[in-house]
């Protein structure tokens, strides 16, 4: 049995759907990963063979002011999961982020590139990666720019704003790969099925700026919205962001035979599934 921790989140819900009867999900109320006793109790009782951790504190700007909470959830909590999974002989799968990098490399990041987080969120997720290694049977999957049907995300924010304004300013100097949680879930399951260990990068293929992503969203939705450019500096958010943090996913393809489709194609599928949902 595969246990999905954080099963009510955006990625967790898609993993539960994909795994079907093979999965069992837990979320807040059933497990508190910041509490070792709660974590051990839940895992000992359910005794899964694999634990996929989708629980995270992902408010990047919020992490700057709540550094302690960020570190408890994204760092220490993963350590507790690592100890508990190791004790029952289960594999730990930890979902991580491109924000462990500073964005200064200029070419897509590979798994063994040196992490240099610019913000508290990135630091806390890097702590989680290090703590996951308490369990020798661990798999770390770094991804980026996630959106999905079951959570707050950039696509939904843009569509909501399009209903209120006919002009928007979106940053055009941050580059990454928008990734649909359905596709990420497929990559994670493929990695688990192939018995992969260590660090892997998984994101939809190709890259764009947030500005280009916004334009693509409006094009796919058939909406006319003027999207103006602005710099990260002009936006002036509390947390610093890496400017170029695309991930090289060739190791994923090499070890599983899976390559995630181009981001624009994934966006199109998401928009279609969203229409069916409403």
Residues assigned a catalytic role: 121
Closest CA to 252 of 177, 194, 209, 210: 194
Closest CA to 50 of 177, 243, 189, 187: 189
Q: Which residues pair with 96 in a beta bridge?
A: 142
Q: What is the biggest distance separating any 2 CA atoms in the chain, rounded to whole angstroms?
A: 56
Give the chain's end-to-end CA distance (angstroms, integer): 32
Distances (CA, A) of 35 to 73, 79, 117: 10, 10, 26
| ∠ Cα 217 107 209 (to 5°) | 20
CA–CA separation, 26 and 30 (whole Å)? 6
Taking alpha carbons only, the member of 29, 28, 22, 15 closest to residue 141 is: 15
């Amino acid at each position: 049995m595969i246990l999905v921790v954080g099963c009510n989140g955006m990625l967790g819900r898609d993993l539960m759907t994909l795994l079907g009867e093979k999965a069992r999900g837990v979320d807040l109320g059933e497990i508190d990963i910041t509490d070792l006793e709660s974590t051990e109790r839940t895992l000992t009782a359910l005794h899964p063979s694999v634990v996929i951790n989708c629980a995270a504190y992902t408010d990047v700007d919020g992490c700057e002011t709540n550094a302690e909470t960020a570190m408890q959830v994204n760092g220490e909590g993963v350590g507790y999961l690592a100890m508990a999974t190791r004790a029952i002989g289960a594999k730990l799968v930890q979902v991580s982020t491109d924000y462990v990098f500073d964005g200064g490399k200029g070419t897509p990041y590979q798994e063994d590139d040196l992490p240099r987080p610019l913000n508290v969120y990135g630091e806390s997720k890097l702590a989680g990666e290090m703590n996951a290694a308490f369990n020798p049977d661990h798999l770390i999957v770094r991804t980026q720019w996630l959106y999905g049907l079951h959570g707050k995300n950039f696509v939904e924010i843009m569509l909501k704003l399009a209903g209120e304004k006919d002009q928007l300013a979106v940053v055009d100097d941050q580059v990454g790969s928008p990734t649909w949680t359905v596709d990420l879930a497929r990559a994670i399951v493929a990695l688990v099925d192939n018995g992969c260990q260590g660090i892997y990068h998984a994101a939809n293929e190709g890259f764009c700026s947030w500005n280009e992503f916004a334009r693509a969203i409006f094009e796919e939705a058939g909406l006319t919205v003027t999207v103006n450019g602005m710099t990260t500096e002009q936006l002036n958010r509390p947390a610093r962001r890496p400017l170029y943090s695309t991930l090289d996913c060739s190791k994923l393809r090499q070890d599983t035979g899976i390559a995630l489709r181009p981001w624009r194609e994934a966006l199109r599928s998401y928009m279609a599934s969203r229409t069916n949902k409403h």
